[in-house]
Structure 1
Amino acid sequence: MSQPVNPANAAAEAPKIEFPCANYPVKILGQGKDDYAEVVFEIVRIHAPDCDFERIQIRDSRNSRFRAITLYITATGIDQLQNLHRDLMAHEYVQMVI
């Protein structure tokens, strides 16, 4: 007889990623400043120089107060992702990184 899955345990286990992981999406939400995209790209280039800058999607909020950027990198490991997240979040323009 199988045991029921405890939702608390299932939620605690993050999905496993096999590295390298091509086309790994990174979504960054921040202030709608004129130089916001350039700031984000500069940080991303440090951690993922192979980022496909041709596939970037940029969306402004209705009142242009916020800007969302979605880009795709080749994730090489958890350290790379943690360092990218840390450096993006350290910038005053960035509000959230997913």
Structure 2
Amino acid sequence: MNTEIRATLLQFPCEFPIKAFGHNRPNFDGLIVEIVRRHVPNLSEGAVTARPSHGGKYTAVTVTIRAESQAQLDAIYQDLTRCNEVLMAL
């Protein structure tokens, strides 16, 4: 999907949940928060939730941010997908 079309789907600023999945390892949620904070230094209290998979092998972390632009979201997703610990980012 090209950037012009995506830009029309969201109106900025907006609340936006970012989800990252990885193996259930110590401080996986901290790693995700560290990556997101590079782009959103003022995360609000309660912005982060983590949930293990049914079998406990994986962890899903959701960080809800106040997104200011499509470029900001793109940069966050690029950093998340570059991280070897992140199996998937949505």
Q: Compute the TM-score of the two structures, normalised by the length of structure 2.
A: 0.83
Larger Rg: 1
Unaligned runs of 5+ in 2: none
Root-mean-square deviation (Å): 1.5
Partner residue of 2:22 out of 20, 30, 52? 30
Percent identical residues:
28
Paired residues, number: 85
Distance 2:88 2:29 in 1: 14
Partner residue of 2:66 out of 71, 74, 79? 74
Is the 2:47–2:65 Cα contact (8 Å) retained in structure 1?
no
* 1:4-83 equivalence runs, <5 A: 14=6, 16-21=9-14, 23-83=15-75
Q: Could you tell me how far 1:54 is from its partner in structure 2? A: 1.5
Unaligned runs of 5+ in 1: 1-12
Distance 2:45 2:28 in 1: 15
Distance 1:68 1:35 in 2: 12
Q: Compute the TM-score of the two structures, normalised by the length of structure 1.
A: 0.77
